[in-house]
Amino acid sequence: MRVLSGIQPSGPLHVGNYLGAIRQYLALQRDHDAYYFVANYHALTSVRDAAVLRAYTNDVIVTLLSLGVDPERVTLFVQSDVPETTELAWLLTTVTPMGWLEKCVSFKDKVQQGLPADHGLFAYPVLQAADILLYDADTVPVGQDQKQHLEITRDIAERFNNTYGETFKLPEPHILPSVAVVPGIDGRKMSKSYGNTIDVFDDPKTILKKCKKIVTDSTPVEDPKDPDRDNLFQLFKLFAPGDEVADVERRYRQGGIGYGEVKTGLAAHLSDHFAAARERRAEWLAHPVRVEEVRRNGAEKARKTARIVLDRARAACGVN
């Protein structure tokens, strides 16, 4: 089964990225034909500094490698290194109704956050469809909030197939419901756009500083607390051992535990969880030629697959 997913290089990857996507990447690469890419075309809707975008793009590659994505098993590449992507996006654009794009929740949300309502942001789902369909993906790991975009990808593929004949495979979503939304330090979904993240490769001191800023209520230490409604506990249980989670939950419910103790414990678990990956990251950063080789090899493998699918689509609509 072929798996495909991409991550935007719009800033350092954070704990939410790891739990919502990268952890799945590591599991899926063991038994599947995995294609993972850095979506730098998509990042152009928010990153308008060329040097920054290049740095973020390289950082995502290094982060994925450091966390355990294996370039010997996986096709790891950068979106812009495969020019077939934008050509397929145009072919798909010609059959995509405006109404579908106008209904996209993501477009409305980002405009409300202050991003300019340009065509790149509006047509984002079409480019995303090209990313997915270009590699004959069977399944796409997505967060719950991205499920609508995959549904649009399927709709676009069906419309193209109905217009020109069977051309594209319809991908299925692969969702991990238990971590559909990871809370940030302000209680909202952890997101770079909200500035509420704990980054995967923050150093231990920074992790502790950020954990201490996690928003909680003013319930005194001795009073009972509801772990189900506490964002701090929701993060804590994602990284602490099961017996420790059970103990903290018991103390929440009966009273006698302060938020400061939980924040310190969370910081320690986060630091320990990513300690080995921090060491691997230092090794990759010390050998940039190896990183460039991974990128080049990944692009070559991705383009071979992409060319087959693009030629099929070009033939179907008569522009070959």
Q: How many helices (H) and strands (E) does the chain have?
A: 16, 5
Strands (DSSP E) found in the chain: 2-7, 33-38, 75-78, 139-141, 172-174
The backbone torsions φ and ψ at residue 37, rounded to the nearest 5 degrees and listed phi first, read -135, 160
Q: Is 169 a catalytic residue?
A: no
**Set 108, 147, 169, 192: catalytic member:** 192
Q: 189, 212, 237, 301: which is the annotated catalytic residue?
A: 189
Residue 192 annotated in active site = yes
Query: Which residues on adjacent β-strands are paired with residue 281?
Result: none
**Can you tell me the distance from the alpha carbon of 303 to that of 109, in angstroms, rounded to the nearest whole number?**
33
Determine whether 147 is an active site residue: no
Helix, strand, or coil here: 183? Answer: strand
Structure tokens at 166: 């069977």
Could you give the CA distance from residue 32 to residue 113 in angstroms, rounded to a whole number?
37
Q: Are 160 and 318 in contact (CB under 8 A)?
A: no
Q: Catalytic positions, please?
A: 110, 189, 192
